[in-house]
Amino acid sequence: MSRKYLFAIIGGTGNTQLADFSPDRKEWIETPWGRPSAPVMMGDLYSVPIAFLPRHGLEHKLAPHLINYRANLWALDAVGVSQVLALAAVGGISREMIPGRLLIPDQLIDYTHGRSETYCEPDSETIPHIDFTDPFDSPLRRQVIQTAERIGLPVVSCGTYAVTQGPRLETAAEILRLERDGCDVVGMTVMPEAALARELGMAYACCALVSNWAAGKNDAPILRDINRNMDEAKAQLTLLLRAGLPSWISEYS
């Protein structure tokens, strides 16, 4: 493979495509863990070579618990990715996580179960005891936050992401429990993605797009304004990527 794509973006709900990105190459990557969610799309975004992979598939048909996370991260590693920005739609729990806002989380709590969460198999020669004290890459997070500050984008610079099993949304009582646990937003996809990236030595950070208030946090139906809120968050994401990509990738080139 002649060209290495150091930077990758993983698309989530509402982000099966990226604004201003027209890939010049798509490749299905066969992995020891099966097929990824979609072909890896490669090309330039704002003059930066990137790889893009929608975790739910091209037509958003893969539920969070059915995603082949191991194949997805392995495929990105195979095309030379060392730096990943994962996009994720989330529900807001704490007061400042207003729908339409972006969060760059610094912590997570994993409430999922039954997912293939490691590359360590019975016949593995070593056990990957990764340090997961800080589950998101601090230098990449810092770069993203500094870009937002430079362009005056009101992102939330830290918060805890609760990762639930899905695909159903949570009950109001479950959200109260997550709030007591210290969670600021709730989503379904950052784990085991973040841990697998760490096992592969990738710098992994998340940009969470707050699409709705979590259950019991607002009187309005959860899904009523979700499209409008996502459009607002995606517009901010576009500004962030346009302003930041060239400087983010230079750190790892």
- In this prediction, residue 58 carries a pLDDT of 92
pLDDT in tens, 23-70: 999 999 999 999 999 999 999 999 999 999 999 999 899 999 999 999
**Residue spans per domain, the chain:** 7-250
- In this prediction, residue 1 carries a pLDDT of 43
pLDDT in tens, 141-167: 999 999 999 999 999 999 999 999 999
- Rounded to 5 degrees, φ, ψ at 205 are -135, 165
* CB neighbour list of residue 61: distance below 8 Å, 6 or more residues apart: none
What are the DSSP E strand ranges found in the chain? 7-11, 25-27, 40-45, 48-54, 83-92, 102-103, 107-110, 160-163, 185-187, 203-213
Nearest CA-CA partner of 50 in 10, 81, 8, 18? 8
pLDDT in tens, 167-216: 999 999 999 999 999 999 999 999 999 999 999 999 999 999 999 999 99
Q: What is the pTM of this model?
A: 0.93
Nearest CA-CA partner of 158 in 226, 94, 216, 91? 94
Encoded tokens for 250? 């230079």
Pick the CATH number of 7-250 from 3.30.450.40, 1.25.40.10, 3.30.70.2740, 3.40.50.1580: 3.40.50.1580
- In this prediction, residue 244 carries a pLDDT of 95
Residue 201 to residue 220: CA distance in whole angstroms: 42
- In this prediction, residue 109 carries a pLDDT of 98
Assess whether pLDDT exceeds 90 at residue 3.
no
Judge whether 34 and 136 are in contact, CB under 8 Å.
no
Q: Is 101 exposed, middle or buried (0-12, 13-18, 19+ CB in 10 A)?
A: buried
Chain-centroid distance of CA 121 in Å reads 25
Assess whether pLDDT exceeds 90 at residue 126.
no
Nearest CA-CA partner of 249 in 74, 109, 45? 45
* CB neighbour list of residue 152: distance below 8 Å, 6 or more residues apart: none
